[in-house]
Amino acid sequence: MTTTDLHPAPPPHAAARRALLAGSAGNLVEWYEFGVYGCFATVIAANFFTVHGGSGAGSAAEGPGGEAESLVATYASFALAFFFRPVGALLFGRIGDRYGRRTALVLVIGLMTLATTLIGLLPTRADIGAAAPWLLTFLRVVQGLSAGGEFGGAVSVMVEYAPPGRRGLYGAWQSFTVALGLLAGAATAAALATVLPAAALYAWGWRIPFLLALPLGLVALWLRTALEEPPGGPPPAPGSAGSVGSAGSVGSANEATAPAGSANEATAPAGSATVREQVRAVGLGIGRIMGWSAAGYAFLVVLPSHLQSALGASFRDALLATTLVNLGFVASILPAGLLSDRVGRRPVMLGGALGVAVSAFPLLHVLQSPGASPQARAAAVLAAGALVGLLAGPGPAMLAEMFPRRVRCTGLGLSYALANAVFSGCAGLFVTALTARTGNTAVPALYAATACALSAPALLTLRADDHREPLR
């Protein structure tokens, strides 16, 4: 492979901006929907998983958070979609690596838009009985497949188009649009809860945010159909082999060997890769982002229903807290990505992980304290979101730098999907069920702090100069 192949000329800034917009649009649609589902968990439980609930008139609608069993069932459906994400990452990742990033990104946004819109049109359990939760779960599975392919393709496009020294910032746009999607979902839910009576919200108002995904998805689809493939040549021919470096980075058989231990380390001669080495590379990626996955969902998605079911907060107050925590998240992502371009991925992400581990319990204590002022509670949720942003800003670029182009969509997408399947998809189910069983309202803090503490050793394996190495 020539030097030009290894280090292609930087793309024009106009093309890079178009790629950034096209890659970001799908993320916003995807996470808008997931944010809406989390915010409306108690409403969905009443309409789909409560046998005697009904649409706004049942017991779940009358209580602050619905019956615990129906809420657990709602989060079980939520978790199931996450467990199909690795399948989607593998399927659409291979499409992106073999046939082009654009093909994969167009397919996933089309599936996501269709499934989300259909959720907004689904008849409830009061209308069709036990078939309603099964239909909802099926659509969640479709969303899980498409969401699994979204991350790998979108991050690959953003990072591969990034100018020199800006991969962290460009990759951070993926997380930034995720945050915007979550924030838009929370804000939409809060607005509906403010303007609609509770009965109307449970009966039909919950459908509005899901139906809004249709125009958003069509705009994203239009942007992606006009996307050009990133610089660096066409995708490799089907069947070409990759390998894994000794530090856990998937490498190319045609690339020179880099210093030992680098996250951008090139690989041994062709044919030396083993399944064990490839699993180790993905496993290292999972270890580096498990704290991001767990803390992100514990604070950003699970929080509203936990505040209602465990702490007795009103639906409106819980949504306000969710909006604030997402504002803190949004505010820190891009600065964190930019900072990681200057000082490295390791200090920024390690600071975020240790920050969550140390402060999760004090922050939750402020939210639970009857004597805490509204200002103190607002500051607590803003700080929680900002700490997650320190992990989410540099995270996409860090994962992209672990894998070469020929397997980048698949490798980073699979790492992200598996981490989210285990540590994000189960967050709502684990927190809700364990809180109900033990009566301990600090379970979300325990979950986030433990995952971030366990992630710290994996983050320490990052080298100080990984962010300066060229993409392979």
Q: pLDDT digits over 87-126, tens only?
A: 999 999 999 988 888 899 999 999 988 988 998 999 988 8
Q: pLDDT-derived band of residue 229, with 50, 70 and 90 as boundaries? A: confident
Q: Is residue 163 helix, strand or coil?
A: coil
- CA 146 to chain centroid, in Å, comes to 13
Rounded CA separation 60/201 (Å): 13
**pLDDT surpasses 60 at 367:** yes
Q: Take residue 357 and report the two structure tokens written for it.
A: 């581990």
> Mean per-residue pLDDT for 141-147?
87
Predicted pLDDT of residue 251: 43
Predicted pLDDT of residue 69: 60
Rounded CA separation 142/398 (Å): 28
Q: Which one-letter amino acid corresponds to residue 168?
A: G
Q: pLDDT-derived band of residue 375, with 50, 70 and 90 as boundaries? A: confident
**pLDDT surpasses 80 at 82:** no
Predicted pLDDT of residue 170: 93
Summarised one tens digit per residue, pLDDT across range 427-455 is 777 777 787 788 787 888 889 999 999 99
Q: pLDDT-derived band of residue 1, with 50, 70 and 90 as boundaries? A: very low
Counted domains in the chain: 1
Contact indicator for 374, 137 with CB cutoff of 8 Å: no
Rounded CA separation 23/158 (Å): 7
Predicted pLDDT of residue 289: 95
Name the pTM for this structure: 0.77
Summarised one tens digit per residue, pLDDT across range 55-79 is 444 443 344 444 556 666 666 666 6
**pLDDT surpasses 70 at 253:** no
Domain residues for the domain of 346 are 3-232+240-468
Predicted pLDDT of residue 245: 39
Of 178-192, 270-284, 394-408, least confident by mean pLDDT is 270-284
Which is higher by pLDDT, 354 or 7?
Answer: 354
List CB contacts of 243: < 8 A, sequence separation 6 or more: 250, 251, 252, 253, 267, 268, 270, 272, 273, 277, 278
**pLDDT surpasses 50 at 308:** yes
Closest to 19 in 3D by CA, of 214, 224, 211? 224
The torsion defined by the Cα of 275, 276, 282 and 284, in degrees rounded to 10, comes to -160
Predicted pLDDT of residue 243: 40
List CB contacts of 301: < 8 A, sequence separation 6 or more: 34, 35, 38, 182, 424, 427, 428
Residue 391 is part of a domain; what is its CATH number?
Answer: 1.20.1250.20
**pLDDT surpasses 90 at 227:** no
Residue 8, burial from CB neighbour count under 10 angstroms (0-12, 13-18, 19+): middle
Of 7-11, 400-404, 416-420, least confident by mean pLDDT is 7-11
